[in-house]
Structure 1
Amino acid sequence: MSELRKQYLRALTQYFEYGSSGSHHLGTSLLEALQTIEPEEIILLHEQSIHTITASVDPEEALRCYRLSFVFLMELLAHYRFKAQHIPNKERVLEELRSTLAKTHSSFQAVASKYENVLQHMDCGIVLFNSEGFVSFVNVLMGRFLGVPRKSLVGLDVPGLASYTGLSRPFRKLVIKLHREMFLYRLRFQEVIDENGRHYLVTATYGEELDGDILISVKDVTEFKKIEQSAYQNDKLAMLGKIAAAIAHEIRNPLTSIRGFIQLLRPHLVQLGKEEYAKIVIDEIDRANEIIYEFLNSSKPSTPDKQDIHVAPLLKEVKLLFESEAILKGCDIELAEIDPALTVCVDTKQMKQALLNIIQNALDAIGGTVCQERGMIRISATGQASQVIISVQDNGSGMDFHTQSKLFDPFFTTKLDGTGLGLAVCYRIIKNHGGHIQVDSDIGLGTRFKITLPLC
């Protein structure tokens, strides 16, 4: 039997080497030897031989061998059957059968290539684990997500992936997490966030239709998340507007009355030597009024009164308003040279309010930084196509990704005495102008706000 296996292996290797013409080299000695065993044994012999050949080749070559081996086996069994029976014009019949098999094989390859191209060009990464837990297919996008050549992943199991040095450490940890939750606990969906803050939806498909295989697909849903967060932000701002409209009127009127009576009582308190009481009460009432004013502004700026204004004078005025406070905090405010002809169509009052909030936050960030480097805030503006981009950059304490993701949420603040409404108001103002605001920040490296506004 070992001699027959060697003979079969030799014939199969020759077929792979010469392609379809290899079928002419099926030796009569092999065919005669195969007459002594049953067809089931021939199939077993074929499986053992193909396993031996593919054990030492790369995955793509192994796939080619498996496809060709199907044609080889069909042709061999036809020879086997014809040898045992008397069939007229045997050579002509064999040639027709060979031609039919070749056409079938070409058709199969065309269909396989078609579906493989579909998988390769999908907008999600695909990886297929076979029933034994090894990677049998990886598409191009998955290799791009992982940052490694996809061919290097084929043949690895989950422990192999987790220890693969080509993957970054966060990805290796992610593989272990997904293995536990999707392979062991059979969870079908997972949402993960990488170290750059990008969101991915991971889907696992199990079932009998895959014959024990597990299909993992990974889709980058970062843009969908931004849309979802924008809608969520709008809902929160709408809610904030309703709250402001409901309570502001009812609170401001009593506060105005209380402040008036305290002013009337102030001379009597001075006589009693308790003037500081009146001052404290008035200061606290004024502080409450400021908070209510911010509530009102968070819902009010819905119809800006737009007009064309020059950007340079607007930013110069904003800079002047903060110069004295900046000096007290050991900070410089630098205004870049701006094209005098650069204009933008905005509500001057609202836009000034938005810029004041952003620069105030920058000053607070610099004031809370323990650093020998002098504080610096840089303000600039440029025109690009049909947009104006205003940038406010500081070298303050910076923010982590979690803080940045909640920065424009109403009531979210990192300040002990903050209301969490300033940037929510900025977001609303800029959005109502048809623009958008984005933030880029790193811990210890400062923060940059970029406001993009349409020219008209």
Structure 2
Amino acid sequence: MAGERPAGAPKQVRKSCRKEDCLKVLGRAFDLSPSIMALKDLQRLRYVHVNESFLRVIGYRREEIIGRTAEELGIWSGQSKVIDILLKKDAAKSMEIIFRTRSGEERSGLMSMERMQLDGREYILTVTNDITEQRRLEKELQRLDRLNLVGQLASAFGHEIRNPLQTVRGFLQILQRKAQYRDDDEYFALMISELDRANQIITEYLTLSRKKADCFARNNVNEVVQKLAPLLEALAINVNKQIRFDLAPVPDIWMDEKQIRQLILNLLNNGLEAMAPRQVITIRTGVTGNRVILSVEDEFHHSGDDIRSAGLLAVVLHFDKPG
């Protein structure tokens, strides 16, 4: 019949808009796209046009970009390899790149490029999706996975360590009861106390208690130091250092004894590491105004221009005396 399309003939599609109108629509899509988009001259690789997302992410003004290359701006230095691909395939898709913003921040992007012709000239259209946050989240998940693995291993080790600790504690109690060790009862009590503290730390870790309850009671800082004294002296002697105690009379105060013991040990170890052999570290207590003060001081060690320590390691505790 007249007017019918012959079988197999290509279907004619009515144009939906004029060429000028289509170009305007495409231009608006280019400018409004959330992706980082740019148009470059293929011959000179200079930017001809960039969209608002490009300006926002990269941080340059439009007039600072147009007519310059990515290398000149320091944005991206790997485009020469991609150009070689474009000359062969006309397109390169989903390449992961590292680009830099004006501030020098490095960000991750997933870039696609296509070679195209406009008005007889060749250009490169680049579309880049910023995947920096995605990569950061992936790294964070990997870190958490590693931490989870470390936690599982540490938990297993913790259970294994507690058994020999209990064995050692039991034998110390047996030896403590023997007559020949009666004069060393103070040392046995200290060793058992430290084993109990180590076991408590392991228990707290295994139970993953994020918020440990403080155990405050009235106590005397000097008594805490004196209980630790044999252990502190042994630590100092072991590294060929000396320790001195300068304990002035102080009143009882409210404290968590376990935390204070750990704090003293930590500060002592820091001081011993900074000092030269045969130097002296001093643990001093005293009262200033309405406060009880505990301090740890080490000696200067000069080695050429190197000063390993500056005398007073820390004034670590200020306690209000009970009214």
Q: Same fold (TM over 0.5)?
A: no
- Higher strand fraction (1 or 2): 2
TM bracket (short chain): 0.3 to 0.5
- Higher helix fraction (1 or 2): 1
